[in-house]
Chain A
Amino acid sequence: DAGVIQSPRHEVTEMGQEVTLRCKPISGHDYLFWYRQTMMRGLELLIYFNNNVPIDDSGMPEDRFSAKMPNASFSTLKIQPSEPRDSAVYFCASSSGTREQYFGPGTRLTVT
């Protein structure tokens, strides 16, 4: 079975540009999570969805960040405009009900 799929794996962009990260959760999973990983702050939960509905976005850093889940098999995390401090690895994870989360391979974002 395919795991969580994320694209792109690497993204390099200039400050001020819009960045869109994509995630396909494991089929049948009803929860989807977006995390950010940095050396300074470790793994942080940004937002999570249940049945395509955002449940908790308290971890989203600021209004420049937005996330959508238009259907059960696709989610996006958008940063507009991007800043150098947004450079990090962004992970998507999914889970089914009360079972544990499976992580994707991540997108390494570099903002210059």
Chain B
Amino acid sequence: GQQLNQSPQSMFIQEGEDVSMNCTSSSIFNTWLWYKQDPGEGPVLLIALYKAGELTSNGRLTAQFGITRKDSFLNISASIPSDVGIYFCAGRSPIQGAQKLVFGQGTRLTINP
């Protein structure tokens, strides 16, 4: 089946640093989503991207839909302790249909105060 390659798998940073993570695929996607999962909770949608080249911000978070439609990145600026968690990319492809999402393996973010 389709897979999303998410990197890095984990990040250890200092509070206040900027963070960047990305997701790539060998096939095109027509939607890219970024979710955050806190321990013991379900994923929460952060940003949704629907057009190639689209750049969207949500507070300190910025995400872009790659122009090739095969990748996306998420940046977090000036990280704070509550940014700790696992970040997942997810994509919706023309092949799988409008409702099925494919998820990346996640990036675990740890912040040293």
Binding site for B on A (CB under 8 A): 4, 31, 33, 42-43, 45, 48, 50, 55-56, 91, 93, 95, 98, 100-106
Tell me if B91 counts as interface (CB < 8 A to partner A).
Answer: no
Chain B residues in 8 Å Cβ range of A105: 40-42
Contact B45 A48 (CB under 8 A): no
Contact of A100 among B40, B48, B100 (CB under 8 A): B48
Tell me how far the C-beta of B98 lies from the nearest C-beta in chain A, rounded to whole angstroms: 6
Binding site for A on B (CB under 8 A): 33, 35, 40-45, 48, 88, 97-101, 103-106
Chain A residues in 8 Å Cβ range of B45: 100-102
With the chains together, A32 CA to B27 CA distance in Å?
26
Give the dominant DSSP class at A's interface.
strand
* Extra inter-chain contacts (7) besides given A42-B104, A101-B45, CB under 8 Å: A43-B43, A48-B100, A100-B45, A102-B45, A103-B42, A105-B40, A105-B41
Contact A42 B105 (CB under 8 A): yes
Contact of A31 among B88, B99, B106 (CB under 8 A): B99
